[in-house]
Amino acid sequence: MSRGPGRRDVLRSGLGVLLGAAVVGPLSACGGSGGAGGDRRIAIASGYGLSFAPLIIIQSQGWLEEELPDHTVEWKVLSGGSASRDGLLGGSLELGTSGQAPFLQAWASGVPWRVVTALNNMPLWMVALDDRIQSLDDITESDRISSPQPGSIQAMVLAKAAQDRYGDPGRFTRNMVAMPHPDALQALLSGQIAAAVTAPPSQYQAVEQGARILLDSYEVFGAPHGFNVVTALEDYAEDNPDVIAAVHANVARANELINSDPARAAGILAEAEDGDVTAEQYEDYLTREGTEFTTTPQGLEALSSFMSEIGEIDTTPGGWTDLVFDTVAEEAGS
């Protein structure tokens, strides 16, 4: 199995290298010849944070190679759904990952992709460390707020909160700066930014360092919702149903491991991260209230309706099943 750059190496190298990896890496064209050990390549995007735990487990355990022995599996750590979108369209990826909002933006603009599987439901927090900032009312024009990218689900959480509180979803648009979660955490702790709309485990680590929670996405949207999804282009899925089915099945397998034996899952994750996060910390994060590892997409209809309302997208699905492959269409999504 070719793993590409190490996860810690990519985390340290910054967004520019990540975006370059989506289009430059040592990958053949879609469907081309793989390396040693397989004659069909599958390049899969992973990402930052706890949300990608199922994919990290699959990668570290070699499950896809076991199920698809005639394939070569390659993993790429990318930041944000835009990088996956570009990788899929450019032929450097077969499977992408995306937050729900960037996925919906690309789908509404005509990108022919759908959801292979969800990864989880997770609450997303906006956190601040400066004692001056106790609520959204304390954010000034000069304060910077991070999210992973423009149009991210984190940006939509803040837009929804601003709409509900001030009647203006764009109130904080000029405050926003794009940062991967690890960079945002360091920027928050060093005072370079006033607040971060982030994700587990960065949000937990920020609170452990004294930050306070300004927003909880479950409260903002009124219900639990999905976070990241695995995506593929429709043509690729039609030509490679075995791959699509295997990815869904193995995400379900990894989620079952996390749910039934979080201690074992935490140990796998800690080993994959070379001890940057301990197994004990991972087990705590995996079992936090509100976190659910599931293949079922949740909240797509509500999010697309809000994004349409504020002009982020101009096309909405007839229902959530318009956005997914048959792998999850019979699950109890929303």
Give the CB-side neighbour count of residue 127, counting CA atoms within 13 A. Answer: 27
Boundary residue ending a domain (221, 252, 287): 221
Boundary residue ending a domain (221, 244, 264): 221
Quick one: pLDDT band at residue 93, thresholds 50, 70, 90? very high
Same domain, 17 and 79: yes
Same domain, 132 and 203: yes
* Per-residue pLDDT reduced to its tens digit, 256-311: 999 999 999 999 999 988 767 899 999 999 999 999 999 999 999 999 999 999 99
Boundary residue ending a domain (193, 221, 249): 221
Same domain, 210 and 251: no
Region 220-225: mean pLDDT is: 95
CA distance 18 to 25: 10
Same domain, 130 and 176: yes
How many domains does the chain divide into?
2
In a domain, 52, yes or no: yes
In a domain, 295, yes or no: yes
Give residue 198's domain range: 125-221
Q: Which amino acid is present at 41?
A: R
Region 178-207: mean pLDDT is: 94
Region 125-148: mean pLDDT is: 96
Same domain, 34 and 99: yes
* Per-residue pLDDT reduced to its tens digit, 45-84: 998 779 999 999 999 999 999 999 999 999 998 877 888 9
In a domain, 2, yes or no: no
pLDDT of 39 reads 65
Same domain, 182 and 324: no
- Encoded tokens for 300: 């797509």
Quick one: pLDDT band at residue 24, thresholds 50, 70, 90? very low
Q: pTM of the prediction?
A: 0.84
- CATH number, domain with residue 205: 3.40.190.10
pLDDT of 53 reads 96
